[in-house]
Amino acid sequence: MSRVKLEALGVKLPLFPTTSVGSFPKPDYLTKARAEFSHGKINQSELTDLERKATQFWISKQEELGIDVLVDGEMYRGDMVAYFAERMPGFTSGGLVRSYGNRYYHKPIITGAIEWPGPLTMEWWKYAQSLTKKPVKGMLTGAYTIMDWSFNEYYPDRRATAMALAAAIRKEVEALIAAGCRIVQIDEPALSVRPEELPIAIEAMRKTTEGLNAYFITHACYGAFEEIYPGMLEMPVDNFDLEMSNSELDMLGLFRQSPFTKDISFGVVDVHSHVIEDPSAAQNCLRDAQDVIARQSIWVDPDCGLKTRTVEEAIDKLRVCVEAAAAMRG
Amino acid sequence: MAATKCLYLSHTGSYPRIGDSTELQVLRRTTAAVDRGQATQSDLRSAEDDMTRRAISDQARAGVDFITDGMIRWYDPISHFAGKLAGVEIRGLLRFFDTNFYFRQPALIARPTRGGPVLKHEYEFAREALTHLPSPHSESRTKVKQVLTGPYTLAKSSLSQDGATHDLAERAGAYAEALAQEIGDLAAAGAEFIQIDEPAILKYPADWAILEQALVPLLRARDQVVKSGESLKLALYVYFRDCAPLYTRLVNLPFDAIGLDFTYNWALVERISQEGSPRPLGLGLIDGRNTKLEDPATVAAQIEKMLAKIPGGVAYLGPSCGLEYLPRDRALAKLGLLKQSRAALMGMPVAASGGAQ
């Protein structure tokens, strides 16, 4: 239980604190502006103004909904790996590859030594935090996932690549903490892809976070967790943010067999469905959860980033999280 | 110089359905427009046709002997076939092995059954598109290879929702029956080469007996076609893990060729050069998962080591897996490497790397 750690960091949260996994949908004006920017029709400053406007919208929307731990919504990012790769020496931009259905992304290519070029997200975190008194999470992508989601033409093997990335991401964590950030989420959705590489993912996370004073969350989704549980509990983080709704709560069975020993951000709404869940269904998920995990350790959020939903759907899904958490608090 | 008369160039499956230019984004744009209600299903078919023709053209221009249709119309390797069977509902996303790609999981609510041909139209379209390529490609020996995901991998990737299909072997058997019917229909439509993909067996080797049993109806379907006087080759391809632990069992399966992914264990080259293979092999020596371009001379040396130990020197050089995991420019360059590697093996000058020649 990491409430003691949070309180030591000056963060006091209610039972079943609500949060989000990271991304929110971009308002239409920002989507249009990003396209115009890529065609050279507007400049960086004009784009940044709109990204700030959209960030402000989502901060105020989260406050209005009563979310406890906020995110900046990643209005300035396209893809969770490409954003970092485009800014870090050592990467070359790759062409588009498909992720699923009609979703494509620019998969980066590692062609040289990876370096940290200076703060990548810290200014955005400072801006988002300046808009609210509630804690805003620092949002990063983990070294193992950046390695797994990139082509490698430079390092001798996957471990060496992950460690080089961990050294760079650690510097970003240090920059966020120096700016005042107390909760840092380092996403590792690739965590369960190659179960035999779990030790590499753990080693990379240790290299990223060891000795740093913050509450660390890692998000993972859509994987064969049965193959890495309970070994994944060795990850040096305080909170696992897991997609529980889409996996139909299969993981609770694993937790019954071997106790879950960390805090959990428990996904209660499916981010790939247009259907808005009934808050009572989300509440039932949480009831099931508290049979297996201490209620003081349960946070509430969507399964994954909401960027693929419409703005209205995302707000409605967040509201479901808030209502379910409120009902659980009694 | 090695005897290379029977070294065919063979694509392994998927091909990028997008590129960086506007014209190469027609399928993405049309799919998004359909989702918004601003384009029709007919528009979507037309965009799929366009990108399929481009995939075929790229392969033919690269000199590939056995091309695929690029699997442009497939949402993913699992739900495309399974989702068209009665008794199957398509559910949430799951990661496709260790790739950055996701598939929709089939849920079996009853025993899956096939109502009619599923891929026949796709095969016929590809064959027709190939014949309409500008000369001289239309006169080449290029043939269309149809890819099917195998019964074991389909079953292993599916969820059971009723008692009748809860057993993995039973699920695999039901899929095998549907696939055997599909093989018959594809052969009747003129298909001469069908590739069955079973990547899941490398991850779950303990299921070998289930795989072996599930493949029987497919082999029987091939035998029936051949018995009737038609020509049909059935190949089994495995990838995404080290093939070495199952190598002996794989090459003893009565397929016309066994396709292997060498990128997880290069020692397999040495092993085959010593042990040999009782049947033709698909040589997945070009990494379909990484952009780094292989050296044609190195690939040629690897082929040379193995070719003498393969009956008749019949082998199919190809990417280790489908090429959809690469950006389009690199996928095209990898296709180009096939021809360059064969040229290097023949002691011919190798054209510059970086694209199909």
Residue from the list B94, B100, B326 with its beta carbon closest to the beta carbon of A99: B100
Q: How far is A153 from chain B (nearest CA, A)?
A: 6
Contact B28 A102 (CB under 8 A): yes
Interface with A, mutate which of B100, B101, B264, B290 (most A CBs under 10 A):
B100
| pLDDT at residue A302 in the model | 92
**B208-219: per-residue pLDDT in tens?**
999 999 999 999
Contact A96 B291 (CB under 8 A): no
- d(Cα B29, Cα B40) in Å, to the nearest integer? 12
Going from the C-alpha of B168 to that of each of A223, B77, B213, the distances in angstroms are 20, 19, 12
CB < 8 Å to B98, chain A: 193-194
Six-digit token string for A190: 């690739």
Of B139 and B342, more confident: B342
Q: How confident is the model at residue B355 (pLDDT cuts 50, 70, 90)?
A: very low
Interface with B, mutate which of A28, A80, A96 (most B CBs under 10 A):
A96
Contact A98 B330 (CB under 8 A): no
Residue numbers in chain A where pLDDT is lower than 70:
1, 222, 246-249
Which residues lie closer than 8 Å to A123 by C-beta, 6 or more apart? none
Q: How confident is the model at residue B100 (pLDDT cuts 50, 70, 90)?
A: confident
Mean pLDDT score across all residues of chain B:
93
Residue in chain A lying closest to B102 (CA): A100
**B141-182: per-residue pLDDT in tens?**
899 999 999 999 999 999 987 655 679 999 999 999 999 999
Query: What does the angle CA B84 – CA B89 – CA B94 come to, to the nearest 5 degrees?
Result: 100
Contact B20 A96 (CB under 8 A): yes
Contact B76 A100 (CB under 8 A): yes
Burial of B305 (0-12, 13-18, 19+ CB in 10 A): middle
Residue in chain A lying closest to B329 (CA): A95
- Delimit the domains of chain B by residue range: 7-74+119-150+173-345
How many alpha carbons fall within 13 Å on the CB side of residue B272? 36
Whether residue B340 is predicted with pLDDT greater than 90 in this model: the reply is yes
Percent of chain B with pLDDT over 70: 94
Contact A98 B98 (CB under 8 A): no
Interface with A, mutate which of B105, B202, B291 (most A CBs under 10 A):
B291
Residue with tokens 């069955």: B196
Q: How confident is the model at residue B2 (pLDDT cuts 50, 70, 90)?
A: low
| pLDDT at residue B94 in the model | 85
Q: How confident is the model at residue B356 (pLDDT cuts 50, 70, 90)?
A: very low
User: Residues B280-304: what's their mean pLDDT?
Assistant: 97
Contact A246 B93 (CB under 8 A): yes
Contact A95 B329 (CB under 8 A): yes
Contact A96 B19 (CB under 8 A): yes
Contact A102 B290 (CB under 8 A): no
Contact A100 B103 (CB under 8 A): yes
For residue B305, the 8-state DSSP code is: H
Contact A102 B32 (CB under 8 A): yes
Residue from the list A98, A190, A223 with its beta carbon closest to the beta carbon of B18: A98
CB < 8 Å to A196, chain B: none
| pLDDT at residue B136 in the model | 56
Residue from the list B18, B93, B94 with its beta carbon closest to the beta carbon of A104: B18
Whether residue B354 is predicted with pLDDT greater than 50 in this model: the reply is no
**A46-78: per-residue pLDDT in tens?**
999 999 999 999 999 999 999 999 999 999 998
Which residues lie closer than 8 Å to B184 by C-beta, 6 or more apart? B221, B224, B225
| pLDDT at residue A244 in the model | 81
Q: How far is A132 from chain B (nearest CA, A)?
A: 35
Whether residue B102 is predicted with pLDDT greater than 50 in this model: the reply is yes
Contact A246 B328 (CB under 8 A): no
Are the CB atoms for A262 and A239 separated by under 8 Å?
A: yes
Helix, coil or strand: residue A273: coil
Q: How far is A263 from chain B (nearest CA, A)?
A: 25
| pLDDT at residue B135 in the model | 59
**B29-49: per-residue pLDDT in tens?**
999 999 999 999 999 999 999
Six-digit token string for B221: 């379907």
Q: How confident is the model at residue B10 (pLDDT cuts 50, 70, 90)?
A: very high
Whether residue B139 is predicted with pLDDT greater than 80 in this model: the reply is no
Whether residue B1 is predicted with pLDDT greater than 70 in this model: the reply is no
| pLDDT at residue B351 in the model | 58
Kindly report the pTM of this predicted structure: 0.87
Domains, chain A: 3-329 (3.20.20.210)
User: What is the fold of B7-74+119-150+173-345?
Assistant: TIM Barrel (3.20.20)
Interface with B, mutate which of A100, A269, A271, A272 (most B CBs under 10 A):
A100
Q: How confident is the model at residue B137 (pLDDT cuts 50, 70, 90)?
A: low
Are the CB atoms for A18 and A322 separated by under 8 Å?
A: yes
- d(Cα A300, Cα A286) in Å, to the nearest integer? 8
User: Residues B189-202: what's their mean pLDDT?
Assistant: 98
| pLDDT at residue A247 in the model | 65
Q: Would you list which residues of chain A are within 8 Å, Cβ to Cβ, of chain B? A: 94-102, 104, 107, 109, 148-149, 151-153, 190, 192-194, 222-224, 246, 270, 272
Are the CB atoms for A205 and A218 separated by under 8 Å?
A: yes
Give the residue from B6, B12, B8 showing the smallest Cα distance to B284. Answer: B12
Query: A with B: how many residue pairs have Cβ under 8 Å apart?
Result: 73
